[in-house]
Each structure stands twice: as C-alpha cells, then as structure tokens.
Amino acid sequence: MVYDVIVIGSGPGGYVAAIKASQLGMKTAVIEKELLGGVCLNWGCIPTKTLLKSAQVFDYIKNSESYGIKLQNPEVDFELMIKRSRDVANNMSKGVDFLLKKNNVDVIYGFGKLNRNKNVVVHNSQNNSTQEYRAKNIVIATGAKSRMLQNAPVGSNKIVGYKEILTLKNQPKSITIVGAGAIGVEFAYFYNTIGTNVTLVEYKPYILPLEDEDISKELAKIFEKSGIHLHLNSEVKNINVTEQGCKTTINTHGKTTEVYSDIVLSAIGIEPNISDIGLEDLGVVIEQNRIKVDEYYSTNVHGIYAIGDVIKGPALAHVASAEAILCMEKICGLNPDPLDYNNIPSCTYCQPEIASIGYTEKEAIRQGYNIKVGKFPFSASGKATAVRHKDGFVKVIFDEKYGEWLGAHIIGYNATEMIAEVAVAKKLETTAYEVLKTVHPHPTMSEAIMEAVAVAYNEAVNI
C-alpha cells in the first residue's frame, strides 16, 4: 500500500497530523501500537484531569458548610474514581477513532519501524503479522514515556510511573512523589485532597521550577499549608522496597532524611520514544536525545518529519497539535508562519491552577528588557471571594519602552481558562494600553488580568 503521508503514533500530534493531511487531499494512514489518542488521552492529560476534578468535588463537599450547605461524613470511593477516569479516557479514545474514520484516515495497528528504503514496517503482536507500507512523507509522532528513577530497584510494583498510578486498585495511605513538575504537583494535590499522606521531593530549589519564581513560592506555601511535606533542593539517594512499602532516603544539603510510604511515584520527566524505530539506519540526526528538525519539522532526511515530544520544545499536547498542522500545511505546499514558541500557554491543573505564557520576570531581565511588573491578588477579587477561591494572583510583565506584553503568570481558580486571553493578545501584539482600555466583565476571575496591568502602570483602583 502506498500513501502520501504515514504518521507513526496517534497522540495529539499524530492523529491531528493524519486528519489534517487527509483534509488537505492526501491519502493518509496512522500507525498505532496501543490505543488511539496516545499517552495524552489514555494515560496523561485526560484521565489525570478527571481524577483532579473528583478531588476538587470532594474538597467542595468537605467544605460545603462554608457555602451554607450541611453534609455529613463524605467518603472517597477510590475504585470508582479510578474507574471514572478510565471510562472518560476510553470514550475519548473512541472519539479519536470516530474522527479518523470520518476523515478517511486508515488506521494500522502495530509497532512501526522505518527501514533503509524509507518504508515503514509494521509488526502486529496480536496476530504476529508483519506488513510493509510506503509513503512519500513519513511523520514521526511517537511521543514519550515516563523516566524512571535511577536509584530504585527494577521491577518493583511499589515504584510506579504515570500508567501504574492511574490504575491503582487501592488508595495508598501514604505516597512519596519524586519530581515537582506538572505531573508531580498534580498528583500531590489529588492524593493530599482525598486523604493520602503526601511527600513531594524536588531536586531544584522550587516546585514547578520552570514557572516564574513568585508562582512557585506561592504554590509551595499553599501546599505546605494543606499538609503536603516538601523536600526542596533534595535528591533521592536510595529506595528500599519491602512488603510493607518503601523507605526513601533523601539528601538535602548533606542532611539525610528517611521517608516511609506505601508507594513511590516517579515524576522526574519524560524521555522520547525514538529507540528502535529505524532512525539510525536512515541517518536521521539526533541532538540531546531529540530528533533535530527545521522550523517546519523536516529532518535532515528528505521526506521524514518529526513533531511533538520527540523534538526539542515544550512537551505539551497543544504544541504537538499545532506542530502537526503546520507540518502538514508545509508538506502540502502552503506557506504557514512558523510556530512562536514564546507564545505557548503552559498549564498545571492542581488547585489552585497555574497558567503561564511568555517570559518569566528573570527571563525578561536576562533578555535585556527594562520591564514593568504588575501583580493583582485574588484576595482583592469579588468573584474569587464569592466562590471561596482567594488564593493566588495574576502577574504580568511588560516592556517599559514599547508596552509589549512579555509574559503573564497566573496562580488561582480557573487560571488555565484565563490564560487564553493573554495568548490572543500577545499574538495580536497588543500593548498594555489596549488591555487597560478593554472593558472586562465584573465580577469575574478574568478581570484580574486587567487589574494586574493597571497595577503595572500605576492606574489601579481596586487595590
């Protein structure tokens, strides 16, 4: 079978690339070795957000009296929470199947590997069959997998990654989470909220170390207040696994601490799925364990492209989808603008939520800008007070000379919904003046963005 485009991997980069290619008139196939939708739909974004919503609802119920509602003795049904998250993920995967069929994309199940002829050999382990496919253009969208701890015994079912943590049969009484990036803090929030004792270990000085420092400090303060045990500037030296659980030895500036927990979650990041897929045989250039591509995602080998977590850049579902569309448009002979990686929203879905875009304050200064910074606390927001979510703030950063919007950082209720306003404004090269003169509805959480801009330009009324 000969195609115009074959996409290897059906995650948010792969399936979007396949559908876009077909919509642009190209005969297209997508190869998937497991479940349609990839890690995001099946083991990442969707099931985790489902669990986080369950935790948030439980928190509402526990604190219902503060809203004037009296309830007694709410309980967590952990098994039902896990089942709900799996059901949601499975339904989303079926949705991808529907979209691919609707757009006439052929789905080929099996493990896809490039050969020296630039064809794709697919091995289906279910029926032990092998088939070779040819295409003018091949897109590598194989995503990434969870990195596991080096100082941990191999094969222990008490040291888990993102797949295992989403299919636990029983709620652990205690959990140690190693790594305080987005995955780590989201699971820390989830388990802490439903009553598990949580220890969070981070090698760097701050949780969410890629975020603006003020955001990281604020979340740390909120987490500690909620009872999460933080170990920052800390390294896991050893994990000793017994039938009872795990003893994790943590080194913090030379001081050793031993933490006991039922399980340990490795949340130290991801590594791309680029091994054993034939890249070396074709001479595809790899740099720092990522496939090297140009601004339209072409590798050094003609007809071979790569998008998503296998290339340099933020490992985010919406980034992979954007790259997929640009890549297909370029293959089809269109002339799209390259992706602006400084205008990519980043979101973390713990409570309070965190969302950011553009430069942090330190990065803006490093880039040589003279800046104006404004912060507006949600404690001064009428809507935040009404919904009992006063934690957090909006922080905005502008270039002093031209009023260019350099960055925005939000920690608070519904932050992940609010950040889109900033993304559109930055895309349109909106200045501070235009934001200030845009009437925002009241009372809303989103008006805090305008209020933060007003603080930056000494025009604040409500603080």
Q: Which helix (H) or strand (E) holds 45?
A: helix 45-62
190 with 81: CB under 8 angstroms?
no
pLDDT of residue 148: 81
SS3 for 284-313 is: CCEECCEECCCCCCECCCCCEEECHHHECC
266 with 178: CB under 8 angstroms?
yes
DSSP string, 166-179: TT-SS--SEEEEE-
The pLDDT of 15-23, averaged and rounded, is: 98
| Known active-site residue 440 | no
pLDDT of residue 162: 85
Model confidence over 282-299: pLDDT tens digits?
A: 999 999 999 999 999 999
Q: Taking the CA of residue 164 as centre, how many other CA atoms within 13 Å lie in the half-sphere pointing to its CB?
A: 15
Integer Cα distance of 173 and 195 in angstroms: 8
Helix count and strand count (H, E) for the chain? 14, 24
Q: Is the peptide bond before 338 cis (omega within 30 degrees of 0)?
A: no
200 with 180: CB under 8 angstroms?
yes
Listed by start position, the domains of the chain span 2-146+271-341, 159-268, 352-456
Q: For the chain, what is the mean pLDDT?
A: 95
- CATH class of the domain at 352-456: alpha beta
pLDDT of residue 32: 97
Residue 127 has pLDDT above 90, yes or no: no
Length of the chain: 463
| CA nearest neighbour of 301 among 315, 318, 286 | 286
End-to-end Cα separation, the chain, in angstroms: 66
Q: Looking at 231, 302, 440, 442, which residue is catalytic?
A: 442
β pairing state of 159-160 and 263-266: parallel
- Residue 12 sits at the vertex; the CA angle it makes with 414 and 133, to the nearest 5 degrees, is 180
269 with 285: CB under 8 angstroms?
no
pLDDT of residue 159: 93
Token reading at 328: 């297909």
- Matching fold, domains 159-268 and 352-456: no
β pairing state of 286-287 and 290-291: antiparallel
Integer Cα distance of 129 and 82 in angstroms: 34
Q: Which helix (H) or strand (E) holds 373?
A: strand 371-377
Stated pTM of the model: 0.94
* pLDDT range class, residue 149, cuts 50, 70, 90: confident
Q: Which helix (H) or strand (E) holds 229?
A: strand 229-231
CATH of domain 2-146+271-341: 3.50.50.60
User: 3-state DSSP call for residue 90?
Assistant: helix
pLDDT of residue 6: 98
Model confidence over 152-173: pLDDT tens digits?
A: 765 678 999 888 999 999 999 9
pLDDT of residue 155: 62
Instruction: Give the rounded distance of the alpha carbon of 437 from its chain centre.
Output: 33
* pLDDT range class, residue 128, cuts 50, 70, 90: confident
Model confidence over 336-390: pLDDT tens digits?
A: 999 999 999 999 999 999 999 999 999 999 999 999 999 999 999 999 999 999 9
197 bridge partner residues: 174
pLDDT of residue 126: 83
87-111 in b/e burial notation, b at 16+ Cβ within 10 A? ebbbebbeebbeebeeeebbbbbbb
- Residue 102 sits at the vertex; the CA angle it makes with 96 and 106, to the nearest 5 degrees, is 75
* pLDDT range class, residue 463, cuts 50, 70, 90: confident
Which CATH superfamily hosts domain 159-268? FAD/NAD(P)-binding domain (3.50.50.60)
Q: Give the least confident one: 143-147, 326-330, 418-422.
A: 143-147
* All residues at 6 or more sequence positions from 46 whose CB lies less than 8 Å from its CB, including other chains: 37, 40, 88, 89, 92
**Cβ–Cβ contacts within 10 Å for residue 361, how many?**
18
Residue 57 has pLDDT above 90, yes or no: yes
Q: Is the peptide bond before 443 cis (omega within 30 degrees of 0)?
A: yes
| CA nearest neighbour of 195 among 87, 73, 88 | 73
Integer Cα distance of 13 and 24 in angstroms: 16
Under DSSP, the state recorded for 262 is: S
pLDDT of residue 154: 59
pLDDT of residue 42: 93
Model confidence over 400-440: pLDDT tens digits?
A: 999 999 999 999 999 999 999 999 999 999 999 999 999 99
* pLDDT range class, residue 221, cuts 50, 70, 90: very high
Integer Cα distance of 397 and 429 in angstroms: 14
Distances (CA, A) of 29 to 129, 206, 280, 305, 342: 18, 43, 23, 15, 32
